[in-house]
């Protein structure tokens, strides 16, 4: 709560924060110039607090789901690693050790990492981080091919399957291929996705509240790893550890992958996605 109060009292010329943006929007709706400790609104502060908790949880949850999948895709598609490295060299400089300083000086430089964003979005296309459920309405019915009568939704929960949409060849060319270039293709290009087809964080009022945070952190993760580390699955070591502990092994494969999706609410990779992380001896290897 003290952090929120501090955000309320921050000077107008201070760096913009999540709290600051919420305060300005709230003040605008009330028709006042500012919200300060001279006129605190306890209900507002409490609302901001709980929304921030959701924001940070949402961002962290999406990260824990997506990071292993990004590195798995990069292991399967080493040409994408080379393209990420080339983009980092061009935008952040050829010395990886100086990248953090450059980002601190110009945080918006992350917006220039378009191929990196494409890798993130393509990973989420193949394995979305979230699902969404909507309450059916009396005014909303479904028209099913081959059925004369509409199907009512009132009284039902509607599940929007992002992975089904993302893997439909009517929506994405070669949907089972990992192609980050889809998201830099110009309109009219066969790879260019139609509007609102990509639902990596879902859409509408119940989309992932932490998606902006998640994308920024995912960019940072890639910036600070792809030129310095080699990362690959470590099922061999995982199995040896499990055997040593006398635990049951589960080597099942789902759709060609041992790192398949599990979980009852948000999805998670099988067994936490054990991985080898090795230091690269040079940035060009």
pLDDT digits over 88-121, tens only? 999 999 999 999 999 999 999 999 999 999 999 9
Residue/partner pairs of 52-58 with CB below 8 Å, 24 or more apart: 52/4, 52/18, 52/19, 54/209, 54/210, 55/18, 55/209, 55/210, 55/213, 56/210, 56/213, 57/210, 58/208, 58/209, 58/210, 58/211, 58/213, 58/214
Question: Are 272 and 247 in the same domain?
Answer: yes
Residue 17 within any structural domain of the chain = no
CATH number at residue 202: 1.10.630.10
Residue 45 within any structural domain of the chain = yes
State what percent of residues in the chain have pLDDT above 90.
Answer: 51
Instruction: Check whether 20 has a pLDDT greater than 90.
Output: no
Residue 32 within any structural domain of the chain = no
Residue 262 within any structural domain of the chain = yes
Question: Are 109 and 147 in the same domain?
Answer: no
Query: Please, what's the largest Cα pairwise distance for the chain?
Result: 66
The whole model's pTM is what?
0.78
Neighbour tally for 92: CB within 10 Å? 22
- Beta-ladder partners of 231: 277
Q: How confident is the model at residue 124 (pLDDT cuts 50, 70, 90)?
A: very high
Write the pLDDT tens digit of every residue in 249-271.
899 999 889 998 887 666 778 89
Last residue of a domain, one of 122, 143, 159: 159
Q: How confident is the model at residue 27 (pLDDT cuts 50, 70, 90)?
A: low
Alpha-carbon distance of 151 to 130, in angstroms, equals 26
Per the annotation, binding residues are 208
- The angle that helices 42-76 and 18-30 make with each other, rounded to 10 degrees, is 140
Instruction: Check whether 123 has a pLDDT greater than 90.
Output: yes
Question: Are 120 and 64 in the same domain?
Answer: yes
Question: Are 99 and 185 in the same domain?
Answer: yes
Per the annotation, binding residues for heme are 208
> Alpha-carbon dihedral of residues 212, 49, 27, 216, nearest 10 degrees?
-10
pLDDT at 108: 94
Range of the domain at 136: 131-159
The residues, ordered by sequence, that sit 6+ positions from 222 with a Cβ below 8 Å of its Cβ are 70, 84, 116, 119, 120
pLDDT at 105: 94
Question: Are 152 and 113 in the same domain?
Answer: no
CB 97 within 8 A of CB 195: no
The count of structural domains within the chain is 2
Residue 5 within any structural domain of the chain = no
């Amino acid at each position: 709560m003290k952090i929120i109060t501090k955000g309320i009292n921050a000077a107008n010329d201070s760096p913009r924060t999540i709290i600051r943006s919420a305060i300005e929007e709230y003040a605008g709706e009330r028709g006042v110039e500012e919200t300060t400790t001279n006129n605190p609104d306890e209900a507002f502060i409490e609302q901001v607090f709980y929304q921030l908790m959701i924001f940070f949880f949402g961002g962290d949850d999406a990260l824990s789901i997506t990071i292993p999948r990004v590195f798995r895709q990069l292991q399967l598609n080493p040409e994408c690693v080379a393209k990420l490295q080339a983009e980092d060299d061009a935008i952040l400089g050829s010395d990886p050790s100086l990248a953090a300083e450059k980002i601190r000086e110009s945080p918006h430089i992350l917006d220039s990492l378009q191929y990196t964003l494409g890798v993130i979005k393509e990973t989420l296309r193949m394995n979305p981080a979230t699902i969404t459920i909507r309450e059916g309405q009396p005014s909303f019915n479904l028209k099913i091919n081959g059925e004369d009568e509409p199907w009512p939704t009132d009284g039902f929960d509607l599940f929007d399957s992002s992975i089904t949409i993302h893997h439909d060849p009517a929506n994405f060319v070669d949907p089972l291929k990992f192609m980050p270039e889809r998201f830099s293709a110009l309109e009219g290009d066969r790879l260019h996705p139609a509007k609102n087809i990509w639902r990596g964080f879902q859409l509408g009022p119940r989309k992932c509240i932490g998606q902006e945070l998640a994308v920024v952190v995912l960019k940072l993760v890639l910036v600070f790893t792809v030129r310095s580390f080699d990362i690959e699955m470590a099922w061999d070591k995982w199995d040896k550890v499990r055997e040593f502990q006398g635990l049951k092994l589960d080597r099942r494969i789902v759709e060609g992958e041992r790192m398949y999706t599990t979980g009852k609410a948000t999805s998670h990779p099988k067994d936490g996605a054990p991985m080898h992380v090795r230091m690269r001896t040079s940035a060009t290897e």
